[in-house]
Amino acid sequence: MTDFAKFNFKNRKDLQAKIGELGLDIAWSNNLSIFKENIKLDTCEIPNKLAIHPMEGLDANNQGAPGKLTTRRYLNFARGGAGLIWWEATSVVTEGKSNKNQLHLKEDNKSAFASLVNKVNNAAIDEYGRKPVNILQLNHSGRYSAPQNINEPIFLFHDPHSDDKAGIKKDMEPVGDTYLSELVDKYVQTSKIAQNAGFDGVDIKACHRYLLSEQLAAYNRDGQYGGSYKNRVKLLLTIIEEVKQNCPDLLIAVRLNVYDAIPYPYGWGVNNKDAAKPDLSEAKRLVEELENRGVEIFSITASDPRINPHIVRPYNNPVGKNEPPQEHPLQGCHRLFELTAKIKKELPESVVLGSGYSWLKEFFPFIAAGNLEERKADMVGVGRMAFAYSDFAKDMLTRQKLASDKVCVACSRCSELMIAGGPTGCVVREKTPYLRLYKEKVN
């Protein structure tokens, strides 16, 4: 019998009763002024404790530069009031794109990115008298690479849990060490371009089983990037070191899977005998090493949305015809809160950003404030909620609440649009243009 149920809470009492019934320790606070506090970093200052997580729109133009819908989305984010805008996955190499319309920052399209960053900053200054901190997520899609919308996987080892989804056949060979070593310079060069384009920082993305995330679980791989812990973290640490050395004034962040929820030896951060149980021993070791190399912000997440979407983002409706999970979405929210809290405990001096809030609808601010008060995180962010409700931060900071008719309904249609190749946005709250696109591509 499954505990799964859709969101059906009318008030705090009902929600907290369910939290108690499930035996979950989920904080609550009415002190929403906590979000107004700023965060000072070595190279910049984040004006509040609210962030927009990276959510791919898949709406770049043919050159990999921001398209019309990209521009529209980020200007909405700028006017929405979040202190940190964590820009979506942007490829560092053509062959590592997840989609032909994924962003791809290069020297020859730098001016287009710079123009949009400038517009974003000016829009926020006009509205609030200050600009947000802009972090660009740098990525290689690895086994999920599809630069022409056809699977062209670049993978590190065979994984029976995701090979089929990635289009990986049994006779295909994993990528060689030489290719991986050469990626270091690609990240460095793209980081330099990002800095010149006006970004405050870069995120060396290591989550959701893209290349640098899969690397952490490369137990079944020979050579310098597989097997031992030291080998499996080598590529990520080397990239961080080189980016820091070449761009000393650039803020460095990492969006990190700390728990794959995939059975060992194919998944990272899992108990060797039970993948349902996290084992954060290596993740705790890694975040300390990342901090020592100059990473200032850690965004904590988990799993692979293609395999365990409910762990990445609790929902009301599964993607497509998939069956709902065996757990209540509140358990998924709680898992993300606790994973973040455990990493925060290891990093008392660094900024740790939490996730898992969109499913909570209008109750999100109060649970997020509770987590901040209890030092389970330093900031909170949302992805799907930002698609649906780009000015969520403004309402939390000025109205001390969210409008129930504007919040994300966790229907998974944005995920379905992404799987269909995009462009991606909220089908429910932004019917123009996304409902038409949904009907064309998904239905």
The string of DSSP codes covering 104-116 is E--GGGHHHHHHH
What pLDDT is stored for residue 326 in this prediction? Answer: 94
What pLDDT is stored for residue 443 in this prediction? Answer: 76
Burial of 385 (0-12, 13-18, 19+ CB in 10 A): buried
Mean pLDDT of 260-271: 98
d(CA 235, CA 430): 40
- Whether this prediction's pTM lies above 0.95 is answered by yes
- The per-residue pLDDT for range 86-138, each reduced to its tens digit, is 999 999 999 999 999 999 999 999 999 999 999 999 999 999 999 999 999 99
d(CA 36, CA 99): 37
Beta bridge partners of residue 103, listed in sequence order: 90
Pairing of strands 379-382, 351-354: parallel
d(CA 94, CA 139): 11
- The per-residue pLDDT for range 204-233, each reduced to its tens digit, is 999 999 999 999 999 999 999 999 999 999
Position 1 pLDDT exceeds 50: no
- The per-residue pLDDT for range 286-325, each reduced to its tens digit, is 999 999 999 999 999 999 999 999 999 999 999 988 899 9
Backbone angles phi, psi at 197, to 5 degrees: -80, -5
Q: What residue type is assigned to position 88 of the chain?
A: E
Backbone angles phi, psi at 100, to 5 degrees: -65, -20
DSSP 8-state code for residue 206: B
Mean pLDDT of 176-202: 98
Pairing of strands 50-52, 45-46: unpaired
What pLDDT is stored for residue 320 in this prediction? Answer: 87
DSSP 8-state code for residue 320: T
Q: Copy the structure tokens of residue 145.
A: 């690479």
- What confidence tier does 163 reach under pLDDT thresholds 50, 70, 90? very high
Mean pLDDT of 155-171: 97
Would you tell me how many other CB atoms lie within 10 Å of the CB of residue 20? 10
> Strand, helix or coil at 184?
helix
**Which residue intervals of 129-176 are DSSP H helices?**
163-166
**Contact predicate 357/368, CB 8 Å:** yes
